[in-house]
A and B are shown apart, each in its own frame.
Chain A
């Protein structure tokens, strides 16, 4: 036997091991996604800031002037804590769902590990996310909530959210190969989520208790609550919230991983 060359045995229902450099590949795929999205735009990355700023202004105008709501302080910061997670989630979910189909050329011609495609798509959305988190922190400073030790919770809650998004994208991107309607299901679900996630409202304790199944195990809602507790109240997020958040994120990731593994061997036939 020669030393080192990758070999494989393909049995029915199996898939070969690809023995390359996963990190190098992932980095290249993320950079590619990011570059091609912005290369031909004159405003470039500035779009990542513009979109949430516009929505924040519109919503602030509506809910403080047109339909005044006096129970919520610092409304722009409050609404931005909802918008940034929502934008990240819907952007990553929508792009991620169609990513296998979009990369059909790659899937049909290069025996690259298929998981890399959805994971890279989600991670490339995280590049915008960084910019939007920067905006969020700038707003928090602007509203006089100075830098706080509890900000150290931010990386933890964001990583949990990213794990969740990768999990759900693994499921929907694999299903979308077989049933192309999946992308419309995702689009519709995002419209519903705009209302189901408390972006521009704060559920009163009675309402939150009554609809707890809508709020408790939805990781994006958990993220919104955690961001508000950290950035507006300056507190650490309660462990009960983090526990459910971690449980549903990791659960989703595990489900996604297995569903994707089960479905990927026949992508070739359906693309």
Chain B
């Protein structure tokens, strides 16, 4: 079964959004076309089946993050359709929605509600999140007092404990100290072994080869290659080496 499907997906941005004048908004309101949009993704087609583990490689600005935003449903495509089945946990920005002045406990509950949990589920989940983070003693302290590493640890613990059908990872494999990093990687492999779908974005070909079976290569918003992780990573790294030479 297909859990993620992109059909003819394009996503464009206005150039210099935010500095536009009232006149341009009015023109747009009356159906004027944007003359010179910037395409972050252009006519991308692929589908990911249940239980697949797919890596996405590409240079900075190739459209990887835009693709993840579309998969998580943060933004609709400009053209085409994105179809997603299942609960998503996104390790995009660990601790998005955390607030400095709230305690660890309050942040965990708030985050669980943002991720769509019911009250009872959130409180049930709380213990396993805290146990995973190994920071039970700090849960009543405001987040302000946490170190950066501790914050990421808590964010990671919330995200992976939501029992996702689809796990989305954006270059955040390196969280905390070596011991906790190993724990994170173990957890990700455990999720993979449970047959969940994983979509992983990384600059590091090694990570993709290690974790994923299949990979997509994005270049300037276009899908240039879709194949096994080894093939795609080799082609991608070969191309990078060629462009540096």
> Which residues of chain A have a CB within 8 Å of any CB of chain B?
1-2, 5-16, 18-21, 24-25, 27-29, 31-32, 35-36, 39-40, 105-112, 178-180, 265, 268-270
Contact = CB atoms under 8 A, between A and B. Distances in A.
Chain B interface mostly: loop
25 contacts: A5-B85, A5-B165, A7-B86, A8-B73, A8-B84, A10-B73, A10-B76, A11-B80, A14-B76, A15-B76, A18-B116, A20-B114, A20-B117, A21-B118, A24-B113, A24-B118, A28-B110, A28-B113, A32-B99, A32-B110, A35-B106, A105-B93, A106-B96, A110-B74, A268-B74
B76 A109 contact: no
Interface of B: 1, 13-14, 17-18, 22, 25, 69-70, 72-87, 90, 92-93, 96-97, 99, 101-102, 106, 109-110, 113-119, 122, 142, 165
A171 to B, nearest CB: 15
B119 A24 contact: yes
A103 to B, nearest CB: 8
Nearest to A271: B18
B73 A111 contact: yes
B118 A110 contact: no
B81 A9 contact: yes
A179 B25 contact: yes
Contacts of B101: 35-36, 39-40
B44 to A, nearest CB: 13
Contacts of A2: 86, 165
B183 to A, nearest CB: 23
Q: Which 3 A-B pairs have the closest CB atoms?
A: A20-B116, A109-B96, A7-B85
B76 A12 contact: yes
Given A32-B110, A265-B76, 5 more contacts: A5-B85, A5-B87, A39-B142, A112-B114, A179-B22
